[in-house]
């Protein structure tokens, strides 16, 4: 048995689990600076903060930058230090370009002459903080925090604090989409469960056909349908419901509509599976004892369908938290969620450390939500064995 399972286990570990672990490790990995500045990171460890470093530290930096001159690693180092000290990219590249060919008599004076930033103890303090092989810089940045030159954790400038609001926006949209899917999916699943087999098959097919369509195609279709000259607005105007087109796209309304459409099958299918297995005799027994239809629903039917509600809500919420394509196409700048910024920092800004930190907190958010939901409704109802 174990021999038969081994290929699948190896496949999952090496092609699924290992890449995720390696990507998440980038949230604390800081090998770029020690590898690029080995002499400087060793010399700066003996420096007392609050004053300028001694000549040996400056000499070590001159040696390290001279060794990097003309190599791509200098640009990578400049980009990495620019994350911690805005504007430091230009300082590093200019210093590397203007360094003398041989060691100057006074490395301190030579570096300060090239750029006055090397005369700022605060800049050296940040450089020392970033000299270890591991760092909490990305994790703090993902929480709108940073370390000041003294090493204390403080809030970032208000103009640069975006990620805490981003987590709140992601949670708000995901919870809203989940509640809408429950409200729409529950009666649809109930109708399917009570319908004849032929009707249920047609309804199931109507749900699955869009489900099999590309996510990109469905999201793009909603952009066409919801625009001012789209079918939805034209139909509402023709019916006399509105006098002018409604703003239904490139805002939060469009995000909710498109995400609910995409994720609704994840709610309906678990609900339908559970409702189909509920015996009508339970409902008839409650009715025969004098319970009204409303009481039968709330005391018998709803509790029996809660495993489907819990499973469907979990699927919808977890999927919604990581959504990227639909909000990017249908939403506006203030409607983007964590997935958009992870993609941005991975592909555009090439800041894999911050992308990894955001992904780590997204994973924590999903795990915490799952644990809270499991405590509230029971892990058995989430199909955990």
Please state, rounded to an integer, the average pLDDT across all residues of the chain.
Answer: 87
What's the domain count of the chain?
A: 2
Residue 80 belongs to what domain range?
Answer: 31-132
Residue ending a domain, choose from 132, 153, 181:
132
Angstrom distance (rounded) from CA 256 to CA 164: 21
| 25 belongs to a structural domain | no
β-partners of residue 145 are 155
118 and 210 belong to one structural domain:
no
| 48 belongs to a structural domain | yes
* Confidence at residue 384, expressed as pLDDT on a 0 to 100 scale: 39
Assign residue 335 the CATH number of its domain: 1.10.3720.10
| 234 belongs to a structural domain | yes
| Residue recorded with tokens 């592909």 | 347
66 and 214 belong to one structural domain:
no
Instruction: Say what the alpha-carbon torsion angle 89, 92, 93, 96 is, to the nearest 10 degrees.
Output: -170
* Confidence at residue 170, expressed as pLDDT on a 0 to 100 scale: 93
Quick one: CA dihedral 162, 163, 168, 170, positive or negative? positive
| 222 belongs to a structural domain | yes
Per-residue pLDDT of the chain (385 residues; tens, 9 = 90+): 667 777 787 777 777 888 888 888 999 998 888 999 999 988 888 787 778 888 989 999 999 998 988 888 888 888 888 888 888 889 999 988 888 888 888 888 989 999 999 988 888 888 888 888 899 999 999 999 888 777 788 888 877 788 999 999 999 999 999 999 999 999 999 999 988 888 888 988 888 887 788 888 888 899 999 998 888 889 888 988 888 888 989 999 999 999 999 999 999 999 999 999 888 888 788 888 888 888 888 888 888 898 889 889 988 998 999 888 899 899 988 899 998 999 999 888 888 999 999 999 988 888 887 787 777 766 665 553 3
- 111 CB burial (10 A radius; 0-12, 13-18, 19+): buried
126 and 228 belong to one structural domain:
no
* Confidence at residue 372, expressed as pLDDT on a 0 to 100 scale: 79
The pLDDT tens digits of the residues spanning 282-305 come to: 878 888 888 888 888 888 888 889
110 and 199 belong to one structural domain:
no
179 and 255 belong to one structural domain:
yes
- Assigned token pair, 212: 């099999």
Nearest alpha-carbon partner for 188 in 86, 270, 249 = 270
| 140 belongs to a structural domain | no
| 26 belongs to a structural domain | no
176 and 52 belong to one structural domain:
no
* Confidence at residue 1, expressed as pLDDT on a 0 to 100 scale: 63
- Assigned token pair, 307: 């495993």
96 and 208 belong to one structural domain:
no
Residue ending a domain, choose from 74, 109, 132:
132
| 50 belongs to a structural domain | yes
* pTM reported for the whole predicted model: 0.85
Residue ending a domain, choose from 109, 132, 155:
132
80 and 179 belong to one structural domain:
no
| 272 belongs to a structural domain | yes
279 and 342 belong to one structural domain:
yes
126 and 68 belong to one structural domain:
yes
101 and 224 belong to one structural domain:
no
| Residue recorded with tokens 């506006």 | 332
Instruction: Say what the alpha-carbon torsion angle 51, 54, 60, 61 is, to the nearest 10 degrees.
Output: 40
185 and 119 belong to one structural domain:
no
């Amino acid at each position: 048995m174990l021999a038969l399972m081994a290929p699948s286990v190896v496949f999952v570990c090496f092609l699924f689990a290992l890449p995720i672990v390696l990507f998440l490790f980038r949230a604390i990995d800081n090998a770029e600076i020690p590898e690029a500045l080995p002499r400087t990171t060793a010399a700066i460890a003996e420096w007392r903060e609050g004053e300028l470093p001694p000549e040996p530290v400056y000499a070590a930096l001159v040696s390290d930058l001279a060794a990097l001159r003309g190599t791509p690693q200098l640009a990578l180092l400049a980009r990495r230090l620019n994350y911690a000290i805005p504007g430091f990219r230009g300082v590093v590249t200019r210093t590397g370009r203007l360094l003398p060919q041989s060691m100057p008599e006074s490395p301190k004076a030579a570096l300060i002459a090239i750029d006055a930033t090397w005369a700022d103890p605060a800049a050296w303090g940040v450089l020392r903080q970033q000299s270890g092989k591991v760092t909490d810089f990305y994790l703090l940045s993902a929480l709108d925090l940073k370390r000041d030159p003294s090493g204390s954790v403080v809030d970032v400038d208000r103009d640069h604090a975006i990620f805490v609001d981003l987590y709140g926006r992601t949670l708000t949209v995901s919870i809203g989409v989940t509640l809408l899917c429950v409200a729409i999916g529950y009666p649809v699943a109930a109708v399917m469960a009570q319908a004849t087999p032929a009707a249920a098959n047609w309804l199931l097919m109507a749900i699955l056909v869009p489900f099999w369509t590309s996510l990109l195609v469905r999201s793009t279709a909603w952009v066409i349908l919801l625009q001012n000259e789209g079918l939805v607005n034209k139909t509402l105007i023709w019916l006399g419901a509105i006098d002018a087109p409604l703003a239904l796209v490139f805002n939060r309304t469009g995000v909710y509509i498109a995400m609910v459409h995409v994720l609704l099958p994840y709610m309906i299918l678990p609900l339908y599976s559970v409702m189909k297995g509920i015996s009508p005799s339970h409902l008839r027994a409650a009715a025969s004892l004098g319970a009204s239809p409303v009481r039968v629903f709330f005391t018998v039917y709803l509790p029996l369908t809660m495993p489907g509600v819990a499973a469907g809500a979990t699927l919808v919420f977890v999927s919604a938290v990581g959504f990227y394509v639909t909000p990017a196409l249908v939403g506006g700048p203030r409607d983007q969620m964590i997935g958009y910024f992870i993609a941005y920092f991975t592909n555009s800004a090439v800041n894999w450390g911050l992308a990894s930190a955001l992904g780590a907190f997204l994973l924590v958010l999903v795990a915490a939500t799952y644990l809270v939901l499991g405590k509230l409704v029971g892990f058995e109802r989430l199909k955990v064995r």
